[in-house]
Structures are given as structure tokens and as C-alpha cells.
Amino acid sequence: MPNSHPSCTPPRDLYLVVVAGAILLLVTHGLGRFIYTPLLPYLVDDGQITAGQGAAVATWNYLGYLLGALLAIRWHTISHIRMLLPASLAVHLLTTLAMTQTDHLGAMSTARLFNGIANGVVFVQAPALILEWLVLRNRATLSGHLYIGVGLGLLVSSGLVSSSAHWLEGTERWWPAVVLSIPLAWWATARLLRLDVPVRAQSDGETPPGKSPLFDRASVPLFLSYAGAGLGYILPMTFLPLLAKDQLPADHWLLDGAWFLAAVATILSPSIWNYLGAKIGDLPALRMNFVVQLAGVLAAVILPGALGLAVCAALVGSTFVGTVMLTQRIGRALHPHQGPRLSAAMVSVYGFTQMAGPWLTKQWLEAGGTLTTAFGIGVVALALGAVFAFFVPLPGGPGRTDR
């Protein structure tokens, strides 16, 4: 990346950086993490795993995501990011390749654990690096657009799974993700490693970022709200196609269409919430986001069948990326000196509750519950998240301890 003065950065360079970040999220989130969701019904039909075992494998992936985010808290500087980002992409490629080679449950769980670690690191560090680079150029609002990569990843994963469903089987179903990940990860990583992001100079008397508290009266409600969002959205984003398989006839379009609908909605999500954040403020937009997302998960519980599945896919798909984007920006506004460290801490909380979602679902199913009623866990979590969002102060207001 050219080392020109930040204010002189050409628009083309700005957008190429955002595109590179979006591609990394497409690769790690779409082709690494969430491709498991549309694959799961096929893997169950192939006899490779049961629904309960599928939930257990998902839990290992989400545990890895949490561990990856915790690593990103410990190694949060720009120099750390330049080392960990390419290493994490390599781990993503190797662990996805490993899924093509084994149907042993322990080996699958181990591969998904390390894939989750890589995903957690990339999901923290790539957006954090880009946000710091954009802030230097007074273009922070562009950061929201890189999350389009999540929606595109869902769409691409849906297309890869459905288009290859009839000519691949079992472990072979992972090959399209491997083949597509390699060139995309290579180009995007090379682009981001060229970014010129200098170390931020400290003002006199300012607490060093690594020593100042992450939790205070302003940030704790935000962390709790984000925890509710993590548990609330992860159930439909893990089990929506499996729920469709349970509720709909074998030839219904929503068996693959529910995931496709969620993917299309997710692509639109960053633009919608970017606009609302600019129009009414990030914090009011976040509160609205929770209400819409809650309605989506609730629809799957009280309207079982095609209508509830479609509403859930559309509303959750159009909100969960917005939750991430808005929360990250609010957090940075509350603690502007924390940067990547705060982002990593929030993703860790998000990751912990995501890990809890499949585990709770597994316990519920083994106790005789249904997948439909398990979505009630997400309803409660999102309701609590919405409540905590109303206790988050406006950035710069009372409750800040780092001013």
C-alpha cells in the first residue's frame, strides 16, 4: 500500500482495502465457519454424523473462535497482527483441507477447533487493522462495508453446497471450500499486510492501552448486550437448515432456500445499519437492531413452518452483522485508545456465548426437547441483550473512566 499522506489516499485504495477485508471474512466466516450450517443436513443424511454429534462439532468450532479472540487480546499490536493474520489464514486452509480427509468424530472436532481459532483471530484482527487505517484517514464509516464479506460468504457457501450436493458425498463435500479459499486468502492477505498503520503515540498522562481497564460503567452493559446477541443469533445461524429439514416436506424450496435467504439478507445488512447508524446514531440503531433480531428468532418459535423459517432467515440475516458492526464502533468510541484490544475482548465475550448455544441445544435435544423449542434460548438471550443495550451510555457521556 502506498505510503502517501492519509488525507491524500485515493478512493480506489480505500475501497480495495475494504474489499480485501471483506474477502478475508468471506473466506474464514463463509467458507470456514458457516459453510458447516448448510452442510450439516447433508452430512447427517450421508450417515457421517447425527444431529447431536453435529451440535458437538459446532461447539468445538465455537470454542476455537473464543480462544482465537482471546489470543487476539494478548497479541493485539499492529506488529502482532502482521504475524498472526497470515498464520491464521494458513491454519484455516489446512483445517478445511483436513475435513476432506476424515469422518472420524474426534478428528473432525479437532480440525473444527483449530479452524475456529483461526477464524477468531482473523475476525478480530482484520477489521481492527482496517478500522485503525481508516480512522487515520477520517473514513471510519467505510469499515462497516467490509462486513458485506460475511453475507457474501454465506451466499457463496450456500451456492457451493447446493450446487455440489448431488455429486459429492461425506468428506468430499468440503473440497469446494478448500479450492476457493486458496486464491482469495492469498490475494486479500497480501493486500492487508501492505497497509501503513503507525503505532499510535500516547499523550502525556495517558494510560497505556495494554494496562487500562477494558471494563467500566460504560462498557460493561455493552459487553453484556453483546453476549446476549452472540447466544441469540447463533442458534438460527447454526441450525436453520436442519430446522427446515425437521419442519418441511422433502421437496420444499426452503430446505436450501432458508440459508440462501439469510445470506442475501446478510449482504444487505451492513449498508442498512451503516445508514441507520449515520442517520440516528450507532447506539439508537443498535437498540433497534436488537428488537428486529428478536422478532426474527421469535418467529421460528411461534410460527413453525415455512412462514416462521422465512421470517427468521430474513430478520436474523439482516441484523446480526449490523450488531457486530455497531457494537464494535460504539466500543471504540467509548474507549478510543483501546483499538484492537477492545475489539478482541468483545469478540471473546461474543464467542463464549456462541459456544454455549450449540452446547445448550445438544443438552436440550438429549433431554427430549425439540429443535424448534431450543430456539427459545435465543429469544431469551436477545431479550436480555436488548435490555442491556438501553443501559449503554452515549460515547463521551457519564460512565466513562478513560477520558
Give the residue, 80 or 229, on which the prediction is more confident.
229
Residues 372-392 have a mean pLDDT of 94
DSSP assignment letter at 29? I
Residues 239-244 have a mean pLDDT of 88
| Cβ pair 25, 332 in contact under 8 A | no
Give the position of cell 480506489. Answer: 12
Residue 2 clears pLDDT 50, i.e. is over it: no
How confident is the model at residue 317, as a pLDDT? 93
> 198 is written with which cell numbers?
503507525
How confident is the model at residue 274, as a pLDDT? 87
Residues 174-183 have a mean pLDDT of 96
How confident is the model at residue 134, as a pLDDT? 86
Residues 12-21 have a mean pLDDT of 92
| Cβ pair 150, 25 in contact under 8 A | yes
Query: pLDDT-derived band of residue 113, with 50, 70 and 90 as boundaries?
Result: very high
- Where does residue 271 rank: exposed (0-12), middle (13-18), buried (19+ CB within 10 A)? middle
How far is CA 311 from its chain centroid?
20
How confident is the model at residue 402, as a pLDDT? 39
- Three-state SS annotation for 190-212: HHHCCCCCCCCCCCCCCCCCCCC
Residue 203 clears pLDDT 50, i.e. is over it: no
Residue 152 clears pLDDT 50, i.e. is over it: yes
How confident is the model at residue 285, as a pLDDT? 96
How confident is the model at residue 284, as a pLDDT? 95
Q: Is the pTM of this model over 0.75?
A: yes
How confident is the model at residue 66, as a pLDDT? 85
Residues 290-302 have a mean pLDDT of 95
How confident is the model at residue 283, as a pLDDT? 94
How confident is the model at residue 7, as a pLDDT? 57
* b (16+ CB within 10 A) / e for 139-161: bbebbbbbbbbbbbbbbbbbbbb
Give tens-digit pLDDT for 210-223. 455 677 787 899 99
Give the position of cell 499510535. Answer: 200
Give tens-digit pLDDT for 267-286. 889 889 988 998 999 999 99
Give tens-digit pLDDT for 48-57. 998 889 888 9
Query: Distances in Å between the alpha carbon of 326 and those of 70, 144, 211, 249, 400?
Result: 21, 8, 25, 38, 18
- Where does residue 294 rank: exposed (0-12), middle (13-18), buried (19+ CB within 10 A)? buried
Give the residue, 107 or 66, on which the prediction is more confident.
107
Query: pLDDT-derived band of residue 88, with 50, 70 and 90 as boundaries?
Result: very high
Residue 201 clears pLDDT 60, i.e. is over it: no
Which residues in 20-148 belong to E strands, given as ranges? Answer: none
Number of Cβ within a 10 Å radius of residue 336: 15
Query: pLDDT-derived band of residue 1, with 50, 70 and 90 as boundaries?
Result: very low
How confident is the model at residue 217, as a pLDDT? 81
DSSP assignment letter at 30? I
How confident is the model at residue 128, as a pLDDT? 82
Residue % of the chain over a pLDDT of 90: 45
What are the backbone dihedrals phi and psi of residue 214, each rounded to the nearest 5 degrees, phi first?
A: -85, -25
Query: Distances in Å between the alpha carbon of 204 and those of 77, 207, 214?
Result: 20, 9, 20
Apex CA 32: angle with CA 28 and CA 38, to 5°?
130
Residue 36 clears pLDDT 50, i.e. is over it: yes
For the chain, list the domains and their CATH numbers. 9-196 (1.20.1250.20), 216-394 (1.20.1250.20)
How confident is the model at residue 3, as a pLDDT? 44
- First-residue to last-residue Cα distance in the chain: 33
How confident is the model at residue 204, as a pLDDT? 44
Residues 131-153 have a mean pLDDT of 83
Query: pLDDT-derived band of residue 337, with 50, 70 and 90 as boundaries?
Result: confident
